[in-house]
Amino acid sequence: MRLQILELPEAATDTRRPFALVIDEIPQSVPTAHLAEVAAEIGAAGVLLFDERVDIPSNDHTGWAGGVSVRVEPDLTGFRAQVQAEVDAAAQQVADARAGLAANLDES
């Protein structure tokens, strides 16, 4: 089973490039009823399902000499503090839940 993106023509009112999800080589044993909902959830204009292989020419990059290589240098400024804040908030929620459970048990 393969997942591809088919870019669609833009309309004047589009705020981002519309696309359709293309899923091919789907085995008959795989349920597909939920895939339209998944496509809508990620913002796809639609989903195209095929049991055979379908190649989208715009997705074919085999003619590129040497392929494509991209190096990404993440900016982790503040990441440790953000993670720690989330951990602290989760710990507080657990403590509040425990205190509420203890109070409910004491009332019983």
Q: In what order do the strands lie in the sheet with 46-49?
A: 2-7, 19-24, 46-49
pLDDT at 61: 61
Quick check: 73 and 48 in contact, CB under 8 A? no
Q: How far is CA 26 from CA 44, 79, 92, in A?
A: 19, 40, 45
Residues 6+ apart with CB under 8 A from 35: 21, 23, 47, 49
What tokens does 42 get? 């990620």
Q: How far apart are CA 99 and CA 92, in angstroms?
A: 10
Quick check: 16 and 44 in contact, CB under 8 A? no
The domain segmentation of the chain, as residue ranges, is: 2-59, 76-108
pLDDT one digit per residue (tens) for the chain, 108 residues? 888 888 888 888 888 888 999 999 999 888 888 888 888 898 999 999 999 999 887 766 666 555 556 667 677 788 888 889 999 999 999 988 888 888 877 776
Predicted model pTM: 0.51
What tokens does 44 get? 């796809």
